[in-house]
Chain A
C-alpha cells in the first residue's frame, strides 16, 4: 500500500515536472502554424510606421545643415579671434616707443657702431650690406639656408614625385596595353602662349636689360642699396619672363634641375666655407688673410662681394625653381 502510494506520487511528480520516460514510438506532431484571421496577423516589421526619435531627427538634421553651421561658427570664431588679436596688437603698437625718436631704446651703442664705424670695419660703403654680410653674417647664412631648405623640399615634394610617377606608370601601360587607362596629355598653357610675337619681341629686348640690372644690383651690393637678395630676385624675373615668352624648354636647355642643385649647393658651399673661415679666425683671434680694400672701390668689403654673388645665385635659382615647380611641376 505504502509502495503504491509512493509509485503514484512518483508518477504524479513526473507528470508535473514532465520528466517521465517517453515511449520510444511516440511521435510528436509538428505544431501547426497559428491560423490567425487577416486582421490579427502581425504586420511586417519594416512596413510599420516608425516615428523618428529625437536623436535620429537630430542626426538627420545635422547631416543636412551640420557643415553649414560648423563653417558659420568656425568663420565667426576666426573673425572674432582675429579682431581680438588685431585690437591687442594695435594697443601694443600704440604703447611702443614713438617712431624715429632719438631716445628710443633701439638707438643704442649697437646702432652707433654700425653707423659710425661700419664703413672702415667692414670695408663696405653700404652699411646694410656690411651689417647683414659681415657683422651678422651667421644670420644671413641661416637665411640662405632657409631658401635652400625650402627649394629642396619643394623639389622633393613636387618635382621628384611626379618624375617617379611617370617612370613607374609608363611601363605598366605598355605591358597591359590598355588604351583606356591612358589619360589625355596635360594641357600646357605655356605652349599656347608661344606664338605671342609681341611678348617675344618685348621679352627678347628686355631680358638682357633685366639680367644686366640684376647683375649690377648684386655686384654693387656693397656700394649701393641692393645686394644678393634683391639682385637675385631681379635675375629670377628674367628667367621667368624667358620661360613665359619662349617656353620652359628654352630655359631648360641651360637651367634644369641638375644645374639648379649644383648652382645652389655650390654657392651655399662657398658661403659656408668662406664665412666659416672668417668665423673661425675671428673667434680664435687669428689673422685673417681677407683684405678689406678701399671703401668705394668695386673690389672692397672683404667677403661681401663674393657672398652677395652666392646669395644672388641661390635666390635667383630658388625663385625661378618655385615658379617652374608650381606651374609645371618640374624645373
Chain B
C-alpha cells in the first residue's frame, strides 16, 4: 500500500493548478508575478509527479490505485486512476510546460501585451490542469469536461498574440476543435445509452457483454468511429490537420511549444485510454478501427513530411513535422498490440519533450535573425545564439531518429512493435520513408543555421545564453535512458 501523501498526489496536482489559475486574475500584474506563480506551481506539481512515479515504481504493492473524488465510490461518483504511465506522463507534461514557459520567458514579454499576459497565465494553468485531469481520469464524462477546458484554453492561447493572422488561425482552430468536441459528446451519449456507465472499467465490462451477445454492434461501431474522429480532429491526425500549421506557426513561441508538445498529446492519450481501457484491443480489432487508424497514421507520416518540405517558414515547417510525428503515434496505436501502444506512449513522451525544444529554439533563432521566420533569414544564426542553434540541431537529430537521441528509442520501439503484426511491410516502409523525408527538411535547416553568413547581424546582441536551452538539450539526451527503463518496465 502506498503512503497517504503519494495517494493524494493526483487529486492535489489537479487542484493546485486549478486554484492557482483561479487566483491569478486577482494578482497584481507587476514584476510578472502571475507568470512566476504559474511556473512555481507547475514546478511543484512536476516534483509531486516525480515523487509519485518514484513511489509507484519502488513499492512492491499494486502498481496503480483509484482515487474516489468524494464520499461515494466509483460507479456513483467520479474517480481518478494513477499508475506509472499516468505519473510519467504528468511528469513529462509538467516538465515540458515549465520549460516551454521559462525558455520563452523573454519572447512572451515581446509578443504579448502585459494586460493579456495575466490571462495567458490563467489559461496555461487551466491547460495544465486539464491535461493532468485527462491523464488521470477514469471517467469518460470527466474526460469530456476537461477536453472542453483544454479546447477553449488552447484556442485562446493561440489568440493571445494580437494580430489578424493569429485571430484567423485561432478561429479556424476553434471551429475544427468544436466539431471534434461535438462528435465526442455524441459518441459519449451513445455509449452511455448502450452501456449505462461512464466509468471506464464498467463500460469495458458492458461492451464485452454486448460484443459477446452480438447486440447493438452497429451503434457501438458508430460511437467508436465518432469518438475516434472527434479526438483525431483535436489531435491533428493527417486529413484533419489543416488547422494545425496556422495555429502553431503563427502564435507566440510559448503557445506553439505548449500546443504542439502537450495539447495534442492529451487528446492522443485519451484515444489510447478509450481504445485500451473502454473498448479493449479485441473489440477495436473486431470493429476494424485499428486498420483505419493505422492507414491514417501511415498517411500522416508521409504527408506531414511532404508538406513540411514545402514550407519556407521555419515554424510552419516544425508544425507540419508535428503532423508527421502524430502519425508515428497513431501508427503505434493502429498496430493494436500492447507493444504498439507502449511504443506510441513512448513516442508521446519523446515528442512532448522534443517539440517544445524545437519551437523554442526556432523562436530563439528567428529572434537572432531579427524576427524573420524564413529559412533563408536564419543563415548563420547559430553563431549568434549558440544554445538555440544547438537545441534546433539536437531536436532535428532526435526527430530524424539518430542513435543517441530520444527519437531513436521511440522509432526503434515502433519498429520492434511492428514485427509482431501482419502489416510489417507497410509499417517498416512508411517508417523508413518518413525518416528519410524528415532528414530531407531537417538537415538543410541545420546546415542553413550553421552556414557562415558575412553580415550575420553583427549589431545584434545575443541574449545571455539562456540556461533553458541547455536544460532542454540535456533532457533530449538523458531522456533516452529514462525512456528505455520505462519501456522495459511496461
Q: Of residues 135 to 173 in A, which have CB atoms within 8 Å of B's CB atoms?
A: 135-139, 141-143, 145-146, 148-150, 152-153, 155-157, 160-161, 163-164
A201 contacts partner chain B, Cβ-Cβ < 8 Å: no
Residues of chain A contacted by B78 (CB below 8 angstroms): 136-139
Q: Of residues 288 to 323 in A, which have CB atoms within 8 Å of B's CB atoms?
A: 288
- The answer, among A96, A268, A283, for a CB contact under 8 Å with B68, is A283
**What CA separation (Å) do A282 and B160 show in the bound complex?**
39
**What CA separation (Å) do A324 and B45 show in the bound complex?**
37
Beta-carbon contacts of A239-267 to B below 8 Å, as 1s and 0s? Answer: 00000000000000000000001100100
Tell me whether A268 and B186 are in contact in the complex, defined as CB-CB below 8 angstroms, given that A160-B113, A164-B113 are known contacts: no
Q: Is the CB of B196 within 8 A of A265?
A: no
> Can you name the residue of chain A whose Cβ is closest to the Cβ of B174?
A153
Q: Is the CB of A149 within 8 A of B22?
A: no
- The answer, among A110, A143, A269, for a CB contact under 8 Å with B23, is A269
CB distance from A293 to the nearest CB of B (A): 15
Residues of chain A contacted by B23 (CB below 8 angstroms): 265, 269
Tell me whether A160 and B4 are in contact in the complex, defined as CB-CB below 8 angstroms, given that A142-B149, A153-B123, A272-B19 are known contacts: no
Residues of chain B contacted by A138 (CB below 8 angstroms): 69-70, 77-78, 142
Q: Of residues 84 to 134 in A, which have CB atoms within 8 Å of B's CB atoms?
A: 88-89, 91-92, 95-97, 104-111, 113-114, 121, 134
**What CA separation (Å) do A58 and B186 show in the bound complex?**
44
Beta-carbon contacts of B134-150 to A below 8 Å, as 1s and 0s? Answer: 00000101100110110
B54 contacts partner chain A, Cβ-Cβ < 8 Å: no
- The answer, among B68, B72, B119, B148, for a CB contact under 8 Å with A156, is B119
Tell me whether A143 and B145 are in contact in the complex, defined as CB-CB below 8 angstroms, given that A272-B15, A278-B70, A284-B4 are known contacts: yes
Most central of B8, B18, B155 by chain A CB within 10 Å: B18
Q: Of residues 29 to 70 in B, which have CB atoms within 8 Å of A's CB atoms?
A: 67-70
Q: Is the CB of A105 within 8 A of B149?
A: no
Residues of chain B contacted by A282 (CB below 8 angstroms): 68-72, 77
Q: Is the CB of A148 within 8 A of B26?
A: no
Q: Of residues 331 to 345 in B, which have CB atoms within 8 Å of A's CB atoms?
A: none
- The answer, among B68, B115, B133, B223, for a CB contact under 8 Å with A163, is B115
**What CA separation (Å) do A161 and B71 show in the bound complex?**
44
Q: Is the CB of B69 within 8 A of A107?
A: no
B211 contacts partner chain A, Cβ-Cβ < 8 Å: no
> Can you name the residue of chain A whose Cβ is closest to the Cβ of B190?
A92
Residues of chain B contacted by A134 (CB below 8 angstroms): 70, 72
Residues of chain B contacted by A273 (CB below 8 angstroms): 19
**Count of B interface residues, CB-CB < 8 Å:** 60
> Can you name the residue of chain A whose Cβ is closest to the Cβ of B155?
A153
Residues of chain B contacted by A269 (CB below 8 angstroms): 19, 22-23
Residues of chain A contacted by B113 (CB below 8 angstroms): 160-161, 164
**What CA separation (Å) do A91 and B218 show in the bound complex?**
9
Identify whether the interface residues of B are mostly helix, strand, loop, or mixed: helix
Residues of chain A contacted by B71 (CB below 8 angstroms): 278, 281-282, 288
Tell me whether A284 and B148 are in contact in the complex, defined as CB-CB below 8 angstroms, given that A149-B126, A273-B19, A278-B71 are known contacts: no
Q: Of residues 136 to 175 in B, which have CB atoms within 8 Å of A's CB atoms?
A: 139, 141-142, 145-146, 148-149, 152-153, 155-156, 159-160, 162, 167
**What CA separation (Å) do A86 and B144 show in the bound complex?**
23
Residues of chain A contacted by B18 (CB below 8 angstroms): 141, 145, 272
> Can you name the residue of chain B whose Cβ is closest to the Cβ of A282?
B71
Q: Is the CB of A135 within 8 A of B195?
A: no
Tell me whether A262 and B119 are in contact in the complex, defined as CB-CB below 8 angstroms, given that A95-B219, A142-B142 are known contacts: no
CB distance from A127 to the nearest CB of B (A): 12
Q: Is the CB of B75 within 8 A of A265?
A: no
B222 contacts partner chain A, Cβ-Cβ < 8 Å: yes
Most central of A104, A146, A148, A262 by chain B CB within 10 Å: A146
Q: Is the CB of B196 within 8 A of A108?
A: yes
**What CA separation (Å) do A195 and B206 show in the bound complex?**
63
A residues whose Cβ falls under 8 Å from a Cβ of B: 88-89, 91-92, 95-97, 104-111, 113-114, 121, 134-139, 141-143, 145-146, 148-150, 152-153, 155-157, 160-161, 163-164, 261-262, 265, 268-269, 272-273, 276, 278-284, 288
- 29 A-B pairs (CB sep. < 8 Å): A88-B222, A96-B193, A97-B193, A105-B206, A107-B196, A108-B197, A109-B75, A110-B76, A139-B141, A141-B18, A142-B133, A145-B126, A146-B148, A146-B149, A153-B119, A156-B120, A156-B159, A157-B159, A160-B113, A160-B119, A161-B113, A161-B116, A163-B115, A261-B25, A261-B26, A262-B26, A282-B69, A283-B11, A283-B68
New contact pairs (6) apart from A108-B197, A145-B149, A149-B156, CB-CB < 8 Å? A121-B72, A137-B70, A153-B156, A156-B119, A161-B162, A280-B11
| Closest 10 pairs (CB-CB, A-B) | A142-B145, A153-B156, A282-B71, A105-B196, A138-B78, A156-B119, A106-B196, A138-B69, A282-B70, A92-B222
